[in-house]
């Protein structure tokens, strides 16, 4: 079956494009961390982390997952997120599971864009990360959405991105999250920090304090 599929869809690594594998060992190593602190242009008010320091594989994988329908990449990207959570706990940056439950809130997505891509890649990688952290019961809360009038931010300046999002990220109180939970907001790429900042603010508005922002890569 795999050989047959290879004839139709040639397998290549989603990070570097090497043939014969969907995700190569070298790219897996690049994604393995340690997590790196990031200072976005727009302050989110909470610590921001990227899963690792090297840009190439992460950037390519995020683009492939987002724009080229590589849904299989949710698994390695989810593994990278789970690894980053473990390392941030070891560094004392996030509460350990015996002290606090973990709630992960994926970034909001524009519905039409998600439909066109055949699903929301950030949600898919967050779900894979939660599986990776089992037997810990990680809560995945889709608490955020974009309000009307939000445009695709590609090509917008930092100033225009902020204006595009101002007041337009909506939060609904997450049903399963408890007050003592450690809450992590996850996005694939951080550009200016506008989405993360608006999301942190919207969650605060429904009584959810975000402990950290975690992204795969920085644009
Ligand atoms: Zn590779």
Q: What is the pLDDT of residues 99-116, one digit of tens each?
A: 999 999 999 987 766 766
Which of the four pLDDT bands, split at 50, 70 and 90, describes residue 81? Answer: very high
Distance 54 CA to ligand 1 centre (A): 13
Distance 62 CA to ligand 1 centre (A): 13
pLDDT attached to residue 28: 87
Distance 3 CA to ligand 1 centre (A): 20
Q: What would the pLDDT profile of 56-79 be if each residue is shown by its tens digit?
A: 788 888 888 888 888 899 999 999
Backbone angles phi, psi at 185, to 5 degrees: -90, 130
pLDDT attached to residue 142: 94
Residue at 15 is within a domain: no
51 burial type by CB count under 10 A (0-12 exposed, 13-18 middle, 19+ buried): buried
Distance 73 CA to ligand 1 centre (A): 11
Distance 70 CA to ligand 1 centre (A): 14
Residue 29 half-sphere exposure, CB side, CA atoms within 13 Å? 3
Distance 55 CA to ligand 1 centre (A): 12
Distance 213 CA to ligand 1 centre (A): 26
Distance 164 CA to ligand 1 centre (A): 35
Which of the four pLDDT bands, split at 50, 70 and 90, describes residue 8? Answer: low
Higher pLDDT, 58 or 192: 192
Higher pLDDT, 9 or 98: 98
Residue at 16 is within a domain: no
pLDDT attached to residue 157: 83
Residue at 11 is within a domain: no
pLDDT attached to residue 3: 61
Tokens 């290549």 label which residue?
12
Distance 60 CA to ligand 1 centre (A): 9
Residue at 14 is within a domain: no
Residue at 9 is within a domain: no
Distance 68 CA to ligand 1 centre (A): 16
Give the residue-averaged pLDDT of 21-49. 91
Structural domain range at position 192: 32-94+102-218
pLDDT attached to residue 144: 95
The pLDDT mean for the chain works out to 88
Our count of domains for the chain comes to 1
Distance 216 CA to ligand 1 centre (A): 16
Residue at 157 is within a domain: yes
Q: Find out whether 214 and 109 touch, Cβ atoms under 8 Å.
A: no
Residue at 7 is within a domain: no
Residue at 214 is within a domain: yes
Tokens, residue 122:
């950030």
Q: For residue 77, give the CATH number of its domain.
A: 3.40.50
Distance of alpha carbon 156 from its chain centroid, rounded? 21
């Amino acid at each position: 079956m795999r050989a047959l599929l290879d004839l139709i869809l040639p397998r290549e690594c989603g990070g570097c494009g090497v043939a014969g594998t969907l995700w190569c060992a070298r790219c897996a190593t690049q994604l393995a961390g340690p997590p790196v602190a990031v200072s976005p242009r727009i302050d989110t008010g909470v610590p921001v982390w990227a899963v690792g320091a090297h840009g190439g594989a992460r950037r390519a994988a995020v683009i492939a997952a987002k724009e080229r329908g590589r849904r299989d990449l949710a698994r390695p990207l989810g593994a990278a997120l789970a690894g980053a959570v473990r390392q941030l706990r070891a560094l004392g940056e996030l509460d350990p599971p015996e002290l606090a439950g973990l709630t992960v809130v994926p970034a909001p997505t524009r519905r039409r864009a998600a439909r066109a891509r055949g699903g929301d890649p950030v949600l898919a990688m967050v779900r894979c990360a939660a599986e990776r952290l089992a037997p810990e019961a990680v809560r995945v809360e889709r608490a955020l959405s974009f309000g009307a009038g939000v445009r695709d931010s590609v090509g917008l300046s930092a100033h225009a991105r902020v204006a595009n999002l101002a007041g337009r990220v909506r939060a609904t109180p997450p049903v399963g999250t408890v007050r003592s939970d450690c809450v992590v907001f996850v996005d694939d790429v951080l550009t200016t920090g506008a989405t993360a900042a608006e999301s942190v603010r919207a969650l605060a508005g429904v009584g959810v304090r975000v402990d950290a922002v975690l992204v795969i890569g920085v644009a």
